[in-house]
Amino acid sequence: RNESSKRMVDKLPKRVLQPTSEPISVAPPSPFDLECTSHLAAYMDRESPQESAEQQTHRVYVLSAISTIFKEWVHSVCISKSFSEEVARKAGGAVFTSGSYRLGVNERGMDIDTICIAPQMVTREDFFHSLKVILEDHDSVENLNAIDNAAVPLITFDFDGVNVDLLFAALARDSVPEDIDIDDDAVLIGVDPQSEKSLNGPRVTNLIRFLAPNFPSFLLVLRCIRLWCKRRGLYSNKLGYLGGVNCNILVAFVCQRYPHAAASRLLERFFYILNHWEWPLPISLTKPFDAGLGLECWDPQAPRNRFHVMPILTPAYPSMNSTYAVSHLSLEVMQFEMQLAHEKVRSILEKGATNWDALFEASEFWVTHQKYLAVEIFVVDKKPHEMAEAVRAWTGFVESRLRTIVEALAALPTCNLRLYPKKLPLHTPMPKNQPRQGCSYFVGFDVDMERMQGEELHLTAKMEAYKAKIYDDALKREVLTEQNGHMYRVRVVPFNSWRDLPDELLDETMGGREAAKGARRRIVAVRRKKEAAAREALEADQQGDVEGVESTAGDKRRAEEEQPSNKVAKLSAGEAAAVFAADEDGAANGDPRLAARSADPRLAARAKAASAETKAAAAAETLQ
């Protein structure tokens, strides 16, 4: 098997990394752009501070501890499977980070995406059994949750206060040295789909780092976009918005278009380009490449890819769409926010960029819509020592299906649908105050009066069908059983207005009910201003149409009026005199068309000439 792998490696094509297109501008930054960037960097240091050197050192310690635990575990698994001590010692194992942390974003409180790479003797079943037990028993580990049925299985936990997402990959080889070249496409030979996806985490991150020019500017803009997404309710890959890898690729893409631009200008260009991008045209950092290993690369012609609405492709082989969860509805939300953000950035730059608050304002989601739904996910009647694990498993399962409730609402006479991707506490009481643990998410929407039939919007049937589908899927995937199904609940609570939202929710999200009222008044004022402008524009268009019709009619009349006079040049002097005399008579009787024609200087001149000819002829006759 190893010899076969070596022969395959020798035949692998060599990749030449090139951006998908040439830069739009290679101009250096202006002094003004540099000054604006200085203000932007100072703002980000205040609003989204990086970890201190001590905190970063602590993260390095956590990663080192996890690496030690993992390598010792690989050795013990090999011994337990009757491999020799020499084989177990050479088995090795490696730990890599990926995502924003690997790129150098050190936001306070951010998690670390970590990939454990093991040799083929160690399996994913071992990972979710024996390694899980070791981590659960470790004094520094808390809040552990194993998600073995996900597309990319992982174990998530807090290690000494640092949140870690631990993924697993098994290579088709007997040993994994610590300095393995993970960027070599040959590491993918013989791996299963889950390992392939896990390995592509650090592989994608490394290529983004390589393909993004002007890396300090890239990092500053990336920090801005991450903060903007979180403040505006757009940060969640699972719920159909943007996640970490999507932000990384998009910012690198804009940097490629303006490789020497300052961060403040790149930020403006980011929103401009994405606001005008013609989706579903894919965004990619490098030209397509097939390493010849038979792995599926993203292809727009593939049947299941034709419905991807916002493809953002990963640069590593095999290329994948990192935004497959985006729907037409969530794309509309992001496009609206991109347009708004671009207007704000331009206004900020015009004022000297000394204050960036407007761009990073918290979302007004809670006072924007006519109606709201709370989707409550919770567990009841569990023993105390089982409750935390049950809640984590159940909420994770339902969260992956939250997008479908928006799709269900879209079938009703609704518009401006938006799922807010922030996990919130349970805010509504249960009947009889039944104890429960869980979380809630909110959906906002408006009623589309043009599609309404009747006076009431009926949600019950759609919501019951949505819940039934969740329970059916949970039974099929053995997340719950017929016996314990009553313990796992999904509850949809409607609110007829933002005014009906709980006080504690508005306290948490808007700073209180009075602040919410002020925000609502501002939104209503802006809407009325836009509606007035739209009415004025419509009236102007209608007036223009009327004037256009009148102008067309006038042109036609003038053409009719001018048509006879256009024949003047063809009339004899006598004919012109006769016409002129008839027109003068008609004009005297009030015919405006004849009045206009009688005023034609060409006709008058010909008539005058005819009169002179007549007088000359009469004089000649007299002389004769």
180 is in an annotated binding site: no
244 is in an annotated binding site: yes
Tokens of 132: 């899980």
Q: Residue length, the chain?
A: 624
Rounded CA-CA distance 95/403 in Å is 33
Q: Is 111 annotated as belonging to a binding site? A: yes
With CA atoms as reference, report the closest residue to 467 among 438, 492, 436. Answer: 492
Cis status, amide bond into 29, omega within 30 of 0? no
Determine the Cα–Cα distance for residues 218 and 543; give it in Å rounded to an integer.
Answer: 50
- Report which DSSP code applies to 283: B
Q: Using CA atoms, how far apart are residues 272 and 342, in angstroms rounded to an integer? A: 6
Query: Whole-angstrom Cα distance, residue 222 to residue 215?
Result: 10
Report DSSP state, residue 44.
H
Query: What is the Cα gyration radius of the chain?
Result: 36
Q: Are 180 and 186 in contact (CB under 8 A)?
A: no
Of 551, 556, 614, the residue nearest 580 (C-alpha): 614
Whether 204 and 316 have beta carbons less than 8 Å apart is answered as yes
CA gap 189, 170 in Å, rounded:
11
Q: Are 42 and 225 in contact (CB under 8 A)?
A: no
Residue 518 is assigned to a ligand binding site:
no
Both tokens assigned to 108? 């306070």
What stretch of H or E contains 461?
Answer: helix 460-476
CA dihedral 572, 574, 580, 582 (to 10 degrees): -120
For 168, phi then psi, to 5°, come to -135, 140
Q: Say if residues 173 and 120 touch (Cβ distance below 8 Å).
A: yes
CA distances from 425 to 110, 115, 371, 422, 506 (A): 21, 31, 20, 10, 12
Q: Phi and psi dihedrals of 69, rounded to 5?
A: -60, -45
Paired sense of beta strands 112-118 and 162-170, if any: parallel
For 588, the token pair is 């005297």
Name the residue among 381, 17, 375, 59 with its Cα closest to residue 210: 17
| Secondary structure (H, E, C), 529-546 | HHHHHHHHHHHHHHHHHH
Rounded distance between C-alpha atoms, residue 516 and residue 421, angstroms: 19
**Do 193 and 9 contact (CB within 8 A), yes or no?**
no
Task: Give me the helix-helix angle, 215-231 and 31-47, nearest 10°.
Answer: 50
Do 330 and 237 meet the contact criterion of CB atoms below 8 Å apart? no
115 is in an annotated binding site: no
Q: What are the φ/ψ torsions at residue 449 (nearest 5 degrees)? A: -65, -25
Q: Is 512 annotated as a binding residue?
A: no
* SS percent in the chain: helix, strand, coil, step 5: 55, 15, 30
| 107: three-class secondary structure by DSSP | strand
Instruction: Please state, in angstroms and rounded to a whole number, the distance separating the CA atoms of residues 238 and 403.
Output: 9
**Which of 254, 273, 318, 320 minimizes the C-alpha distance to 292?**
318
Q: Annotation-wise, does 443 bind a ligand?
A: no
- Binding residues for Mg(2+), as ranges, are 111, 113, 165
Which residues participate in the annotated binding site for ATP?
Answer: 111-113, 165, 235, 244-245
Known binding-site residues equal: 111-113, 165, 235, 244-245
